[in-house]
């Protein structure tokens, strides 16, 4: 391939993974260069001439050809590639531990619409690239600072079975839980039903056949369309619980036995409450989109557990869980991270569903009864108004300044003063009753992220959203929302 054919849009190097529209923003020659860059980075980091790298890919129509070009690049630097074949992201992460490899590269655009591709990658086991590594990778790739070597490729046969057995063997349950398992025709369809059946669930499959056109909707457990479809199936089958998995299987959404969706941050809190008495003095990491209930929870307080609010994004939370030696981390988007002794620190949507099954197995209560033990709050879904990649961080920076000023000037939101402003990731401002609103830049799409929650009323939840939206519209840089209350 001559240099003239190489095409890579530099905006594809995002905060903690790489995503592009293919072939508009990156072509196969560009993907090969990405492989050359990643291989060079792994060699520099590990100080090994021929590091071993596990590679997997999801079931999109074009993922295999992208994996082949990425692999070509990795081999040209001297990497020994171990090809797992069709994979989930957590299976690729698990393979890095199981096969004791030096790096991992998973070809997936997760829940993004068809047309997107990307790579989730890591060097240290159980951790994926953070902004520093992504910046480093971007410099290597765009400036073609490649190491040259002689690598190889070998196929790892039947690793899917090794991954399935690992989860099944440790997680048998006594109670026959009837579970709807929805995969939106994404890759999780050949994994989740088998594993949940294997631990002892009575599984009702929903859209588990692989179909890369995603005929109904994107496999995304934050998408209300998918959640409503699962809800309907749960009610029709009188199921105990419904699980919805995203395209690469690292996230899960949960529906209770009445067909009500439970936002994943509340599921995280239920799991934390279940774990706290067994593991007192633990730390839990949650992202800034998560419910305010963690900070006031009586069971967590009683067991002297600490909650740390951190940046949204699977790489950020993974690293924070690792650094703080936290027992677990929970993201509102449905990424859950279980550290030793419960897991290896990375996010696995099927393992998260298994933890919910343990919750049901341990308590003689239905899912809706368990959720009703939590104080009620009114929460919006995650809403994403369009904002250009080149402008989104600047827009958020201006809003951070604005909200700090609102707090200082005692500006009222729905009749309440702003009590607290957290700026670890965009701006999360809280009112004295525990209500809050969040604005941050999306890490992997040209959009912002807006979430609000109120323990007081639905009206206040909406009033906080309207307050935020007014100032967003004033910037003149906001487009359509993907979904809106």
Burial of residue 421, with CB atoms counted within 10 A of its CB: 0-12 exposed, 13-18 middle, 19 or more buried: middle
459 shares a domain with 382: yes
- One-letter-per-residue 3-state SS of the chain: CCHHHCCECHHHECCCCEEEECCCCECHHHHHHHHHHHHHHHHHHHCCCCCEEEEEECCCCCHHHHHHHHHHHHHHHCCEEEEEEECCHHHHHHHHHHCCCCEEEEECCCCCCCCEEEEEEECCCCCCCCHHHHHHHHHHHHCCCCCCCCCEEEECCCHHHHHHHHHHHCCCCCCCCEEEEECCCCHHHHCHHHHHHHHCCEEEEECCCCCCCCCCCCCCCCCHHHHHHHHHHHHHHCCCEEEEECCCCCCEEEECCCCCEECHHHHHHHHHHHHCCCCCCCEEEEECCCCCHHHHCHHHHHCCCEEEEECCCHHHHHHHHHHHCCCEEECCCCCEEECCCCCCCCECHHHHHHHHHHHHHHCCCCHHHHHCCCCCCEECCCECEECCHHHHHHHHHHHHHHHHHHHHCCCEECCEEEEEEECCCCEEEEECCCCEEEEEECCCCCEEEEEEEECCCHHHHHHHHHHHHHHHHHHCCCCCECCCC
| Domain final position from 371, 393, 414 | 371
Confidence of residue 2 (pLDDT cuts 50, 70, 90): very low
334 shares a domain with 404: no
149 shares a domain with 184: no
The pLDDT score that the predictor gives to residue 474 is 97
187 shares a domain with 93: no
Query: Mind listing the pLDDT tens digit for each residue in 339-364?
Result: 988 889 999 999 999 999 999 999 89
User: Does some domain include residue 126?
Assistant: yes
| Domain final position from 317, 336, 371 | 371
Cα–Cα distance for residue pair 188/182, rounded to 1 Å: 9
- Quickly count: other Cβ atoms within 10 Å of residue 433's Cβ: 15
CATH number at residue 96: 3.40.120.10
Cα–Cα distance for residue pair 448/258, rounded to 1 Å: 32
Active-site residue numbers? Answer: 110
pLDDT at 205 > cutoff 90: yes
Q: Tell me which residue range forms the domain holding 123.
A: 3-159
User: Does some domain include residue 166?
Assistant: no
358 shares a domain with 307: yes
Query: Mind listing the pLDDT tens digit for each residue in 18-44?
Result: 999 999 999 999 999 999 999 999 999
* Residue 413 backbone phi and psi in degrees, to 5: -115, 115
Query: Mind listing the pLDDT tens digit for each residue in 312-338?
Result: 988 999 999 999 999 999 998 889 999
Q: End-to-end alpha-carbon separation of the chain, Å?
A: 49
Query: Mind listing the pLDDT tens digit for each residue in 214-244?
Result: 999 999 988 889 999 999 999 999 999 999 9
User: Does some domain include residue 78?
Assistant: yes
Number of domains in the chain: 3
The pLDDT score that the predictor gives to residue 331 is 92
313 shares a domain with 401: no
Confidence of residue 445 (pLDDT cuts 50, 70, 90): confident
Q: What is the pTM of this model?
A: 0.89
For 148-172, what is the mean pLDDT?
A: 97
User: Does some domain include residue 169?
Assistant: no
User: Does some domain include residue 192?
Assistant: yes
Query: Mind listing the pLDDT tens digit for each residue in 10-19?
Result: 999 998 889 9
Cα–Cα distance for residue pair 388/275, rounded to 1 Å: 41
| Domain final position from 354, 371, 388 | 371
């Amino acid at each position: 391939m001559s240099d003239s054919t190489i095409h890579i849009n530099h905006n594809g190097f995002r905060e903690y993974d790489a995503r592009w529209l293919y072939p508009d923003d990156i072509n196969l020659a560009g993907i090969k260069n990405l492989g050359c860059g990643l291989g060079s980075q792994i060699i520099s980091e590990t100080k090994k001439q021929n590091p071993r790298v596990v590679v997997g890919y999801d079931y999109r129509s074009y993922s295999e050809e992208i994996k082949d070009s990425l692999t070509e690049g990795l081999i040209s630097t001297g990497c020994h590639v171990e090809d797992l074949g069709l994979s989930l992201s957590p299976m690729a992460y698990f393979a890095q531990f199981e096969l004791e490899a030096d790096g991992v590269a998973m070809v997936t655009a997760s829940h993004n619409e068809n047309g997107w591709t990307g790579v989730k990658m890591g060097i240290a086991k159980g951790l994926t690239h953070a902004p520093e590594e992504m910046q480093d990778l971007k410099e290597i790739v765009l400036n073609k600072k490649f190491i040259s070597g002689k690598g190889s490729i070998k196929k790892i046969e039947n690793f899917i079975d090794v991954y399935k057995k690992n989860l099944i063997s440790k997680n048998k349950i006594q109670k026959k839980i009837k579970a709807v398992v929805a995969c939106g025709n994404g890759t999780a369809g050949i994994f989740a039903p088998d594993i949940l059946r294997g631990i002892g669930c009575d599984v009702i499959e929903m859209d588990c056949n692989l179909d890369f056109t995603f005929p109904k909707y994107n496999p995304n457990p934050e998408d209300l369309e998918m959640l409503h479809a699962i809800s309907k199936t749960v009610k029709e089958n009188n199921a105990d619980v419904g699980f919805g998995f995203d395209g690469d299987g690292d996230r899960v959404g949960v529906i209770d036995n009445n067909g009500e969706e439970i936002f994943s941050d509340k599921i995280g809190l239920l799991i934390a409450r279940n774990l706290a008495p067994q593991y007192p003095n633990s730390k839990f990491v949650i992202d800034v989109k998560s419910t305010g209930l963690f900070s006031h929870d009586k069971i967590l307080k009683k067991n002297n557990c600490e909650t740390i609010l951190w940046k949204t994004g699977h790489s950020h939370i993974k690293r924070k869980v690792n650094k703080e030696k936290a027992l677990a981390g929970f993201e509102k988007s449905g990424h859950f991270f279980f550290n030793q002794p419960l897991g290896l620190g990375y996010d696995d949507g099927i393992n998260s569903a298994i933890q919910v099954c343990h919750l049901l197995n341990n308590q003689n209560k239905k899912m809706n009864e368990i959720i009703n033990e939590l104080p009620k709050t009114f929460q919006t879904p995650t809403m994403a108004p369009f904002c250009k990649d080149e402008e989104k961080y600047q827009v958020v920076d201006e809003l951070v300044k604005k909200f700090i000023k609102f707090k200082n000037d005692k500006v009222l939101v729905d009749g309440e003063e702003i009590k607290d402003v957290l700026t670890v990731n965009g701006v999360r401002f809280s009112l004295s009753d525990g209500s809050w609103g969040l604005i941050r830049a999306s890490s992997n799409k040209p959009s912002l992220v807006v979430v609000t929650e109120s323990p007081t009323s639905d009206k206040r939840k909406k009033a906080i959203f309207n307050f935020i939206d007014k100032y967003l519209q004033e910037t003149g840089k906001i487009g359509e929302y993907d979904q809106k209350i």
